[in-house]
Structures are given as C-alpha cells and as structure tokens.
Amino acid sequence: MAALGLCSACGGPQSSLRPAGIEAARVAELFWWMTAVGLLIWALVIGLALYVTRLRPAEHNVRASRWLIIGGGAVFPTLVLGALLTYSLSLMSELRPAGGEPAARIEVAGEQWWWRVRYLPANGEAVELANEIRLPVGERALFRLSSPDVIHSFWIPALGGKLDMIPGRVNELILEPTETGVYRGACAEYCGTSHALMNFQVVVMEPQAYAAWLTHQAAPASPPRSTVAERGQRAFLANGCGACHAIRGTPADGRVGPDLTHVGSRLGLGADVLPNTPEDFVRWIGHTDRVKPNVKMPAFGMLPEDELAALATYLSELE
C-alpha cells in the first residue's frame, strides 16, 4: 500500500519520473539504475544475514569470513560504486550547454517570488514576459539563469535537472523537450516566506505554434475592447500600477514587477498560485498578502468593488 501511495506521486505534470525531455530522460535513467542496483545489494545483504543467522547459525570458517569481509566490504563496493560513478559522470556531458545554436534563448531571473522571463530571439528585440515559459518541441532551448535578490533554483522536473539561480552570476542550462504538453516548474531552493508559492507552467508546443505565440507576445497590448475594460485601464494607470508593471503600448512601463502586456494569455496568476480568471484577478489584487504572504505588491482591497472588477476585466482581456 505504501509503495502504491508513493507511486501516485510519480506521474503528473511535475514529475521527473515521467520525463518529457532528453535531459530528464537521462536523469530518470540514472535514478532507475541507482534504485535497481541498490535494491539488488540490499536483497543480497539481507539474504546473507538470514543465511548466517537462520539457515546456518553454526560457527563459520575464519579464513572464508576474512575473504568475505575483504571481498564484500572493500572490493565489491569499490567496483559497484566506481561503475555507477563512471556511468553517472558519462551522463553529465549530455547535460552541458555544448553543441549547435539553440532554437530558443531565454533569460530567467528568479525574484521573490516570481519569474522574470526574457526571450532573446535570434533576429529581433528581446521580449520580456513573466511566470510562464513556452518551448518548441524537439529543439534545444538555452536558459541563462540569474537572480537579483537571493538564491533560487530553477526546476522543470519533467524536462531536466534543477540549477541554482545565484545573485551576481549567470548559470546556463540546456533543455530539449521531446513531447508537447503542459508541465510545471517550481523554485527548488528555499528563498523566503513564499518560496512554495513560486511556480510556473511550461507549455511545449509545435515549433510553428511556438513561433506564432512568440510573435504575439512581442506585440504591444491591444486596446481595451469594452467600456468596462476601458474603465479598468484608467484605474490601472490612476492607481500607480504602472510604476511597477509594464503593459507595452500604454504609459505603464514599470520594471519592478512582472510584465503584464499579455497577462490574460497565461495559464495562472501570481506565479501560478491562482487560476487565471477575472475572479482570481480580483482576489489577487485585493488580497495579495493573503494569497502570497510577504509579497512586495501591496493589496488594493481599499478600491471599490466595481473598480476592482473593471481592473480584472481589463487585465483578463490582455491576451
């Protein structure tokens, strides 16, 4: 039963045991080898222990025992651990950012407690997004990882291993997804109160769909489509939201918080702690501190309800 319970955690969009990328497949392969050899040795040791205590509890030959200690206690572990070490080291080279030009170059900065994501297209200007990553399937993506505040760790279990994001330096990570789908990433290093609320979704798409998505994300926001959304835009600008957030194509050009130009197109809100619906926008803007303790964005619960609703409509429509 316990094993069954454990296995239920092996699937899902955030599992390194259900790999959807070349690097994650290597990591899973190593895990299963280590587990299998570990189990085999465990069975061997338990078998020997049962043999000498239950089956043949008589006195044993001293010479044979000495050879068993040297062989089983020194030679055997050296050989097994040496083989596993050589094997795991041989996998490392495949996880390094070598080889040809990657199809996507993405800078990701871990910040308390969200992700600043900048796409650097080969031709054209950088596009700043937040809290969501999309990748083309079957192509190598190069991540340049950093942090402006404390140490975070970038981890998409289904696509590859984790890598620390360290203030003052840039760490590079290559990931090559092999299956389209939606996966989940998380911060894997304790980074303050809301460390556990620092997640993101990863959408692996066909290359054409990916290119269309990136072109759309690079475009400025479309103007409000309804009078409610127009009212929301006025509220956004009047309440100073633009001091921290940018919405390209409007006077809002803040750099402190996440870019919101196409926030309505994302799969989650607040670094994937809430679903992306107008109701959740109201909840987030009105009670940021309750949704994500100690978050830097102040709560705007003092705004009249209809103004909050208008803001939510405006932001939801920024697709």
| Residue numbers at the binding site for ligand CUA (CB under 6 A) | 110, 113, 152, 187, 189-191, 195, 198
Buried-state track 217-231, b at ≥16 Cβ within 10 A, e below 16: bbeebeebeeebbeb
Q: Which is nearer to ligand CUA, 132 or 189 (CB)?
A: 189
Q: Which is nearer to ligand CUA, 198 or 263 (CB)?
A: 198
CB 132 → ligand CUA: shortest distance, Å?
16
CB 162 → ligand CUA: shortest distance, Å?
11
Q: Which is nearer to ligand CUA, 185 or 278 (CB)?
A: 185
Residue bearing tokens 């290597």? 26
Q: Which is nearer to ligand CUA, 145 or 312 (CB)?
A: 145
Residue bearing tokens 């697709």? 319
Q: Which is nearer to ligand CUA, 23 or 111 (CB)?
A: 111
What is the Cα Rg of the chain in Å?
26
CB 141 → ligand CUA: shortest distance, Å?
21
CB 152 → ligand CUA: shortest distance, Å?
3
CB 120 → ligand CUA: shortest distance, Å?
22
- Residues 172, 97: contact at Cβ < 8 Å? yes
As beta bridge partners, residue 107 has: 118, 144
Q: Phi and psi for 155 in degrees, rounded to 5?
A: -145, 120
Cα angle 278, 282, 287 (rounded to 5 degrees) comes to 150
Within 8 A by CB and 6+ apart from 17, the residues are 10, 11, 28, 31
Q: Which is nearer to ligand CUA, 193 or 215 (CB)?
A: 193
CB 92 → ligand CUA: shortest distance, Å?
25
End-to-end CA distance of the chain: 45
CA separation for the pair 112, 129 (Å, rounded): 16
